[in-house]
Structure 1
Amino acid sequence: MKLLAFAASSSSKSINKQLATYAASLVDGADVEILDINDYEMPIFSQDREEELGQPEQAQKFFAKIGEADAIIISFAEHNGSYTAAYKNLFDWTSRIDMKVFQNKPMVLLATSPGPGGASSVLAAAAGSAPYFAADVKASLSVPSFFDNFDMEKQQLRNPELQDKLKSALALL
């Protein structure tokens, strides 16, 4: 299985990237590719820019990466209850190539934050809208209080209940 994983965050210290990377490592036998959405940075989307630029190479490459994958893990950072601007912009540009951005790929959606909410607002929005963009969402999981539940030294969940939930979710891919 070719597994694509990434954080919907542009932070160089992204806890969501740590979570996505860890989750991907739990999928036995998977050929894992971890993307950094900073590699796909583009001007802020608008119809005017689209008329001027067409479909940027970064959006085309991102769409191709999704197409090459057998399954996808995304971990969402939450900015003011919603998507990060970096992810939303990448998604907007990519959706102009094809509204079926996720190309019917099986997906596990994750989210985490330092606080007890675990970025659950953005996770709910993502899980609710993803099927409209041809995502086969198999499961979603919020990890609250990241620094309490994730061992930074070992780079793994330390909470057994969350660990079991994550493994169950990944087994659906």
Structure 2
Amino acid sequence: MKVLTFGASNSKNSINKQLAFYAAQKINNADVSLIDINDFEMPIYSEDREKESGIPKLAHDFYNAIGAADSIVMSFAEYNGSYTSAYKNLFDWTSRINMKVFQSKPVIMLSTSPGPSGAQSVLAAAQASAPYFSANLIGAISLPNFYDNFDAEKGIVTNETFNQHLLSCIDKLSIR
């Protein structure tokens, strides 16, 4: 199974990228492709820019990476209660290729933050919009207090409740 995974953050040390990679590695027999959304940085989306220059190649590359995957594991960072501007811009450009950005792929959505909310606001927004963008949402899980629940040296989540929920989602993914 080809699994595309990424953190929806442009931080070089993204805790969401770490969480997404951890989760993807839990999938048995997965060929995990970890991407960095910094590699897809484009001008800020605008209708005028699209009319003048068309859709950037990087948006097509991202869309094609989704298309080549069998499933997607992504984790959202939360900036002021919403998506990061880097992810939102990438998503906006990609949606201009096809509103069905996720191409009916099975998707596991995660989120985390250093604080107790675990970026639940952005995760709720992503969950709510998933059907509109053709994401076959398998599950959505938030990990609160990242630094208290993730062992950076070992690269593992130490919160057993989260791990149980994650394995439950992976089981659903595996039976597809």
Q: Residue type of the partner of 1:54?
A: G
Distance in 2 between residues matched to 1:137 and 1:110, nearest whole Å: 11
Q: Residue type of the partner of 2:23?
A: A
- The residue that corresponds to 1:67 in the other structure is 67
| 3-state secondary structure, aligned to 1:10 | coil
| 3-state secondary structure, aligned to 1:172 | helix
What TM-score does the superposition give when structure 2 sets the normalisation length? 0.97
Greater shift in the superposed pair: 153-162 or 123-132? 153-162
What TM-score does the superposition give when structure 1 sets the normalisation length? 0.99
1:74-121 per-residue CA deviation (whole Å, 9 max, x = no partner) reads 100000000000000000000000000000000000000000000000
Structure 2: runs of 5+ lacking an equivalent = none
Cα offset, 1:151, TM superposition:
0.7
| 3-state secondary structure, aligned to 1:98 | coil
| 3-state secondary structure, aligned to 1:171 | helix
Cα offset, 1:167, TM superposition:
1.1
Distance in 2 between residues matched to 1:38 and 1:171, nearest whole Å: 31
The alignment's C-alpha RMSD in Å is 0.6
- The residue that corresponds to 2:80 in the other structure is 80
- The residue that corresponds to 2:50 in the other structure is 50
Structure 1: runs of 5+ lacking an equivalent = none
Distance in 1 between residues matched to 2:167 and 2:157, nearest whole Å: 11
- The residue that corresponds to 2:123 in the other structure is 123
Q: Residue type of the partner of 1:154?
A: K
1:119-145 per-residue CA deviation (whole Å, 9 max, x = no partner) reads 000000001101100000010000000
Cα offset, 1:14, TM superposition:
0.3
Matched, 1:41 2:38: no
Residue correspondence of structure 1 range 74-153 to structure 2 within 5 A: 74-153=74-153
Q: Residue type of the partner of 1:150?
A: F
| 3-state secondary structure, aligned to 1:154 | coil
- The residue that corresponds to 2:10 in the other structure is 10
Distance in 1 between residues matched to 2:146 and 2:36, nearest whole Å: 20
Distance in 1 between residues matched to 2:53 and 2:59, nearest whole Å: 12
| 3-state secondary structure, aligned to 2:45 | coil
Distance in 1 between residues matched to 2:60 and 2:66, nearest whole Å: 10
1:16-67 per-residue CA deviation (whole Å, 9 max, x = no partner) reads 0000010011001011100100000000000000011101000000000000
Q: Residue type of the partner of 1:103?
A: Q
Count, aligned residues: 173
Distance in 1 between residues matched to 2:102 and 2:161, nearest whole Å: 29
Moved over 2 A (4+): none
